[in-house]
Structure 1
Amino acid sequence: MNRKILSFFLCLVFAVSAQAQKIDIITWEPVANGVWKAVVGNPEAIDLLKAAESKPREEALNRMPSQDFPAVLNEVKAELIGGKTYLRVPLAKDELVYGLGLNFKRMNHTGQVMELHVDHYGGKDNGRTHAPVPFYVSSNGYGVLINSARYIKTHVGLTARTDHKNPPKEIDRNARNGWSSRPRSEEIEMMLGAPGTEIYVFAGPTMMNAVQRYNLFNGGGFIPPKWGLGFTHRTPTLFSDKDVEEEVNKFDEKGFPLSFVGLEPGWHTASYPCTFEWDPRRFPNPEEFSKKMLDRGIRLNLWLNPYVAEKASTFDEFAKVSGTHKVWNGIVPDLTLPRSNELFDSLFTKEHIDIGVSGYKIDEVDGYDVWLWPDFARFPSGLDGEQMRQVYGTLVQKMTTDMFRKKNQRTYGLVRASNAGASRFPYVIYNDYYNHKDFITALCNSSFIGVLWTPEVRASRTGEEWLRRMQTACFSPFAMLNAWADGTKPWTYPEVYEQVKDVALLRMQMIPYLYSTFAQYYFEGTPPFRAMQLTEGFFPDLDAKAEGKLDGTKNPYAEGKRKEVKDQYMMGDYLMVAPLFAGEKERKVILPKGNWYDFYTGEFVGNNQTITAKPGLDHIPVYVREGGIIPMTEAKLRAQKPGEVLPLEVRVYGKEPGAYTLYDDDGVTFDYEKGNYTQMLLSTTKDKKGKLRGKAKMIKGKKNQYGKINWVFMTK
């Protein structure tokens, strides 16, 4: 009997050993200009890029400069053990790592342990977040994507292996001379529960170039409809059609801009789970209501989560293609199956899109574990709960985007979960977390991973906080007031209402600049809102370590923290935004190399230095780079309609010539993808007396939707 047991265990050991495979040489295959792929082991049938079904924009990629493969990545190692994949990626001594998901507390993740896992954000940068994109960009100018729909355990420059060539020095803590509780290692190590994966590398030479290649490889960014860049207000959850009309009337009476209205769960006959059908008590004639709103220039956006209620008319059909577990007591359609998409397409087109609804707010596709399906759930396609969790937000974005595309109609909406490959989808991430400073850090971090994030406004303790939050929202991808729970209005704090209205109207004026910035996202892969680390001329020496103070309870290992610039950002090529938060009268702003000017006055403020901004309550600090050209239009309550011609004000900053390409199209269709758009070169040159003169020249197309141009030279 003992021999049989011994024989069994020996066979088991040999079987496990047989599964182990060490891969010392990884073969990299070029798949686009400056992009390479390696296949390790046997990747699973579903991955992040397949879920997104994005196609590389090869023409745009080919316009980028050629670049050699980053030599350091020739040293990537992999092991396949017991159905899992282990990766080791080299990390240089002073290399910083950005990306690895939508994080809210920090920018550089060197020295951090994370498990990249779709979830609600729980207040810690531990990898569980709304967009745990397994893509990072290195301060040495390249990017790496692990294309797996699995949770990925990641140790960034933290694991000190016995086989390292240059292990960290062993230092006696008692000497207190350079000792660290987290000695820096020379690798990023990752583990994922799959028998293989794809790895992609995106060349630089700069961090921005690597991010651009990543975005373009995933289809490029998107251009939202013009109305999407206006102001949006989400109404209380049980509002009726009459309530919404009264709300719109109040906005107009107050002279406050409004381009689209969000309807919360009460528009359904049932929600949590959902029917996706209009409640006749609150919306007796949704088609007439939608038309009335459209006639006033107001678009409608509908809240939903994709879990089907038993009382829904389509329940029986959805039940045939749904998973083993429910969410909010509703069934979960398998969105990797064509039939699930066909059912949603038929229902949503008939009930929503055909009557004029313009977009969706897709809720509850992220977590927490107590709400979402478990990892051991199974779906008809064969996917398990872990895989589906990593891609579900992407699948819903793709499905709804395709519905509008069939109508040749652009959309712009909100979503709670996303992942790699989703750059081309017209969705902005939001959540229930509500720390204003962390919102700005998330806005910066979003630029590294091909997603957008909104620092929405919901409530405030004071009028000052209300204004500061509103100022930030109006300098973000999605200018939104979310009043679903408490019914707040822009004028809830009358002591700051005029300033709130001023910044909202400024947002409307800036749509030409914003729209052109998003066009860069589509054509060049350039994030419209971006971290300072992606900005040319930004000096990086602020990442030096700061000593932590020894504390027997709070900080027994005196862990140091890196100084990070995570509270200012670029909006397009020329504008730098530096938010103020409640209680602050002034703040430090770091200016990159080159001359910078105050957006509001045109006055010179500095060059390659740190300044102190004291803008008062009325303004959010905004600065313009030398030669900056900012196209603006008149302050309107609604976004520009197709065919509507508006005057153009072109603001010029600095004393040196500059140029800016103003992009325009019909603002609502996908015809721009067929080349139906215009580009106007706005440029300045010096005359014989050294005075700047402005010139506008059409370089593509014949006529845009802007009329008379008024050049305003802000710097005297």
Structure 2
Amino acid sequence: MYRRILICTAFLLTGLFVQAQEIKWEQVAPGIWKGSVGKPESYNLLTASGANPAMDGLKRLGDAGFPLVKEEIVAKLNDGKTYLRFPLSKKEQLYGFGLNFQTVHQRGKILELHVDHYGGKDNGRTHAPTPFYVSSDGYGIFINSARYLKVYAGSAVRRDSKAAPEAKDRNTDKTWSSRPYSDAVEILVPAEGVEFYVFAGPKPLDAVSRYNLFNGGGPLPPRWGLGFTQRVKTLYTSAEVENEAKAFADKGFPLDYIGLEPGWQSKAYPCTFEWDKGRYPDPAGFVKSMLNKGIRLNLWTNPYVSPAASIYKDLKPYTADHTVWLGAVADLTMPEARNILFGQLKKDQVDLGVSGYKFDEVDGYDHYLWPDVTTFPSGKSAEQLRQTYGLLIQRYSAELFHQRNQRTYGLVRASNGGGTALPYVIYNDYYNHEDFITALINSSFSGVLWTPEARASKTGEEWLRRMQSVVFSPMAMINAWSSGTKPWSYPEVEQQVKDMALLRMQMMPYWYSEFAKYHFQGIPPFRAMNLEEGFLSEVQKELKSTNLEDNPYVEAVNKEVKDQYMAGAYLLVAPMFAGKTSRTVILPRGKWFDFYTGKFAGDGEVITVSPGLDRIPVYVKDGGIIPMGPALMHAPKPTDKINLEIRYYGSKPGKYLLYDDDGESFNYEKGDFSFREINIAKGADGRLKSSVSKAEKGKPNTLDQIVFKAMTSN
């Protein structure tokens, strides 16, 4: 009996030894290391997205040392799954793990990262469950797997933890906690191997920038993509669309592109990808007419192919054995399927001059999307296709426009890790204004863009508040597919909404430059306060019944800031919500000034503001430079020259890089662009000393007259 026990013990120890895996390390770019365990699957998020590192940007960012102790990163194989463990220090906070809507701090969470509609809970099921997280200690981790990942983000205490908390008696000790401190992030990958990446800082924003650049850098939208867009009702005809465009012009509201919803197709749910000849009898003429008015078209679709579609028969051999709404699901990992589906989009729409797409329902829910028992002809699993279908649809549709040397900017319901460079903005059917702002904040940790679109409102006040948020976001959009809402649908706030729409157009030089920095430097144009230098949310011990020293998660969750964000290099935006006349704003260290008046607002403090209905609170950091253009009805054309007003705030010397190119093509990839440096300082006499570097010979120059304006008086 004793001998048998020894044999069993030896077997178990041997089993444990076999499970522990050596991690193969390779530095793949400055400040970025790849770790490989077991046999990583050949199909992953990076192969699906086609991401290519922006090495020039990574080199400019510079090298940095490995941010963790390699020996504390553990990998094991067990039961056909890969287990990864990354260390945590006691004071670290975690951000990321995808597009969350209600929480910014993720330490202590248990998540299953799974592409899905957002169902109202931050549980990992979301439109972009990006397996990337950022630490407040200034590093990032990315798991390159197209599988459903289980994440324990500092939520479980191991028996051999180096810093395990003391076991306490709940009966007698009031400091007992049901969620004790954990010193590790543990991730379960359902595959016999995986590759992952470690991104150095030294600051959290540096780690985020490295991640974005490693995935190709952010998209650079066309200028018109940063203008104003209206999505019309589902069954509109071409005549009704033209009338809507005329109404915008007559009322003096800017408009750059219109979105057509399902009714443009002969059949939808599932789709034919062919024009309905009753509502759109002359598609080519209609598209040309709209372009002549300076308005582009964006078409709604989902990718599920109707049996009535002309491409159905040829596509069928390259589709899944399950359907969505009885529509065929193309296996987009197969060139044959892509050639047929995207060939139809090219022939019937893109070649006519259509400027982009809105790809719906590539995310979930389970009850209508293909089940995990589905088989695809390529041999890829239903799980892998679920995790990457949004990436595939973005990648190959974007290629249609790249082949034409024509930029696009569209909408999509799902994305994932690797998709940073793809020119799409995520949206959904959820409609909570506060949560939309939290999602905008979290998008900066996930390498995606998110729009807090406006659809309809119960009151004029709510409508204006939503429109104010929309103007300070990646896409200034009204989505009226169901309601038919117009910017002027609430007469009591029509003028204020119009003023906000015109402000969006005035700020286009700023927005365009900030998106260029996203592309070339990896800096998200809209980002969390936690990425802003000088931002400190002071932690207070508010829960007296909890041992905060042992449980920094509870401490942190109660102080997360999820209703204000940074917009570009210099702006802090603090949205107002319906029913509220005042709010608090946390200002980072350094002087901040009111965007509209230039008046001093505060320095590293919490302020309470009552801006009135007309304004969304926006603040500019000391030395801030905001380039402003004219309030145009459409974005400038490549041949247009615009006047520029350069606004300067505070008294600290300021510098700004103003980006310029033709605004529409991919010629910038060949070097046909410029960053012009703006420098402003205030002399002892209070006068501005300002300069703008000269336009480079042979490079785009869309600027005409330039004036400087000091917003802050002495």
TM-score range, shorter chain: over 0.9
Q: 2:212 aligns with which of 190, 210, 215?
A: 215
The Cα offsets for residues 104-162 of structure 1, whole Å up to 9 and x where unpaired, read as 01111111110000000000000000000000000110000011100011111111121
Q: 1:349 aligns with which of 332, 346, 350?
A: 346
Aligned residue for 1:107? 104
Aligned residue for 1:555? none
Given that 1:131 and 1:419 are in contact with CA atoms closer than 8 Å, whether structure 2 keeps it comes out as yes
Q: 1:368 aligns with which of 365, 387, 392?
A: 365
How many Å separate the matches in 1 of 2:227 and 2:556? 43
Given that 2:673 and 2:700 are in contact with CA atoms closer than 8 Å, whether structure 1 keeps it comes out as no
Number of equivalences: 698
Deviation at 1:21, TM superposition (A): 3.6
Given that 1:20 and 1:81 are in contact with CA atoms closer than 8 Å, whether structure 2 keeps it comes out as no
Q: Does 1:608 align with 2:600?
A: no
TM-score, structure 2 length as denominator? 0.95
Aligned residue for 2:634? 638
Deviation at 1:317, TM superposition (A): 1.2
Given that 2:75 and 2:85 are in contact with CA atoms closer than 8 Å, whether structure 1 keeps it comes out as yes
Deviates more, 1:164-173 or 1:474-483: 164-173
Q: How does 1:170-569 map to 2 (within 5 A)?
A: 170-542=167-539, 544=540, 546-547=542-543, 561-569=557-565
Aligned residue for 1:5? none
Aligned residue for 1:623? 619
Given that 1:596 and 1:605 are in contact with CA atoms closer than 8 Å, whether structure 2 keeps it comes out as yes
Q: Relative to structure 1, is the Cα distance of residues 427 and 651 closer, same or farther in structure 2, using a 3 angstrom cutoff?
A: same
The one-letter code sitting in structure 1 at the alignment partner of 2:536 is: F
Given that 1:548 and 1:561 are in contact with CA atoms closer than 8 Å, whether structure 2 keeps it comes out as no
Aligned residue for 1:50? 47
The Cα offsets for residues 254-273 of structure 1, whole Å up to 9 and x where unpaired, read as 11111100000000010001
Given that 1:655 and 1:692 are in contact with CA atoms closer than 8 Å, whether structure 2 keeps it comes out as no
Deviation at 1:82, TM superposition (A): 1.9
How many Å separate the matches in 1 of 2:140 and 2:509? 31
Aligned residue for 2:550? none
Deviates more, 1:279-288 or 1:87-96: 87-96
Aligned-residue identity in percent = 56
Deviates more, 1:421-430 or 1:67-76: 67-76
Deviation at 1:367, TM superposition (A): 0.3
Q: 1:138 aligns with which of 128, 135, 139?
A: 135
How many Å separate the matches in 1 of 2:662 and 2:295? 17
Given that 1:21 and 1:81 are in contact with CA atoms closer than 8 Å, whether structure 2 keeps it comes out as no
Deviation at 1:437, TM superposition (A): 0.3
Given that 1:545 and 1:561 are in contact with CA atoms closer than 8 Å, whether structure 2 keeps it comes out as no
Aligned residue for 2:164? 167
Q: 2:670 aligns with which of 668, 674, 683?
A: 674
Deviation at 1:278, TM superposition (A): 0.3
Aligned residue for 1:695? 691
RMSD: 2.0
Aligned residue for 1:67? 64
Q: Relative to structure 1, is the Cα distance of residues 378 and 20 closer, same or farther in structure 2, using a 3 angstrom cutoff?
A: farther
Aligned residue for 1:575? 571
The Cα offsets for residues 480-528 of structure 1, whole Å up to 9 and x where unpaired, read as 0000001111111110111111001000000000000000001100001
- Structure 2 runs not aligned, ≥5 long: 1-6, 547-553
Deviation at 1:620, TM superposition (A): 0.3
How many Å separate the matches in 1 of 2:692 and 2:142? 41
Aligned residue for 1:652? 648
Given that 1:134 and 1:146 are in contact with CA atoms closer than 8 Å, whether structure 2 keeps it comes out as yes
How many Å separate the matches in 1 of 2:425 and 2:688? 39
Q: 1:588 aligns with which of 569, 584, 587?
A: 584
Q: Relative to structure 1, is the Cα distance of residues 481 and 73 closer, same or farther in structure 2, using a 3 angstrom cutoff?
A: farther
Aligned residue for 1:23? 20
How many Å separate the matches in 2 of 1:93 and 1:666? 50
How many Å separate the matches in 1 of 2:13 and 2:74? 20
Deviation at 1:14, TM superposition (A): 8.9
| SS of residue matched to 1:512 | helix
The one-letter code sitting in structure 1 at the alignment partner of 2:627 is: P
Deviation at 1:53, TM superposition (A): 1.0
Given that 2:252 and 2:633 are in contact with CA atoms closer than 8 Å, whether structure 1 keeps it comes out as yes
Given that 2:651 and 2:682 are in contact with CA atoms closer than 8 Å, whether structure 1 keeps it comes out as no
The Cα offsets for residues 55-88 of structure 1, whole Å up to 9 and x where unpaired, read as 1111111111321112334311111112111111
How many Å separate the matches in 1 of 2:234 and 2:677? 45
Deviation at 1:614, TM superposition (A): 1.1
Q: Relative to structure 1, is the Cα distance of residues 462 and 29 closer, same or farther in structure 2, using a 3 angstrom cutoff?
A: same
The Cα offsets for residues 658-686 of structure 1, whole Å up to 9 and x where unpaired, read as 11111011111000011101222111134
Q: Relative to structure 1, is the Cα distance of residues 267 and 699 closer, same or farther in structure 2, using a 3 angstrom cutoff?
A: same
The Cα offsets for residues 422-451 of structure 1, whole Å up to 9 and x where unpaired, read as 110000000001110000000000001100
How many Å separate the matches in 2 of 1:611 and 1:323? 56
Q: Does 1:711 align with 2:708?
A: yes
Deviates more, 1:644-653 or 1:511-520: 644-653
Given that 2:36 and 2:193 are in contact with CA atoms closer than 8 Å, whether structure 1 keeps it comes out as yes
How many Å separate the matches in 1 of 2:15 and 2:181? 33
Deviation at 1:688, TM superposition (A): 6.0
How many Å separate the matches in 2 of 1:364 and 1:671? 33
- Structure 1 runs not aligned, ≥5 long: 1-9, 551-557
Q: Relative to structure 1, is the Cα distance of residues 564 and 237 closer, same or farther in structure 2, using a 3 angstrom cutoff?
A: same
The Cα offsets for residues 454-484 of structure 1, whole Å up to 9 and x where unpaired, read as 0000111111010000000010000100000
Given that 2:462 and 2:578 are in contact with CA atoms closer than 8 Å, whether structure 1 keeps it comes out as yes
How many Å separate the matches in 2 of 1:15 and 1:359? 58
Deviation at 1:546, TM superposition (A): 3.6
Deviation at 1:375, TM superposition (A): 1.0
How many Å separate the matches in 2 of 1:478 and 1:14? 60
Q: Relative to structure 1, is the Cα distance of residues 438 and 168 closer, same or farther in structure 2, using a 3 angstrom cutoff?
A: same
Deviation at 1:228, TM superposition (A): 0.2
Q: Relative to structure 1, is the Cα distance of residues 560 and 715 closer, same or farther in structure 2, using a 3 angstrom cutoff?
A: closer
Q: Relative to structure 1, is the Cα distance of residues 176 and 613 closer, same or farther in structure 2, using a 3 angstrom cutoff?
A: farther
Q: Relative to structure 1, is the Cα distance of residues 411 and 17 closer, same or farther in structure 2, using a 3 angstrom cutoff?
A: farther
How many Å separate the matches in 2 of 1:153 and 1:674? 42
| SS of residue matched to 2:414 | coil
Deviation at 1:585, TM superposition (A): 0.5
Q: Relative to structure 1, is the Cα distance of residues 482 and 176 closer, same or farther in structure 2, using a 3 angstrom cutoff?
A: farther
Aligned residue for 1:7? none
How many Å separate the matches in 1 of 2:535 and 2:348? 50
TM-score, structure 1 length as denominator? 0.95
Deviation at 1:19, TM superposition (A): 10
How many Å separate the matches in 1 of 2:663 and 2:57? 22
How many Å separate the matches in 2 of 1:708 and 1:256? 25
| SS of residue matched to 1:251 | helix
Deviation at 1:695, TM superposition (A): 1.6
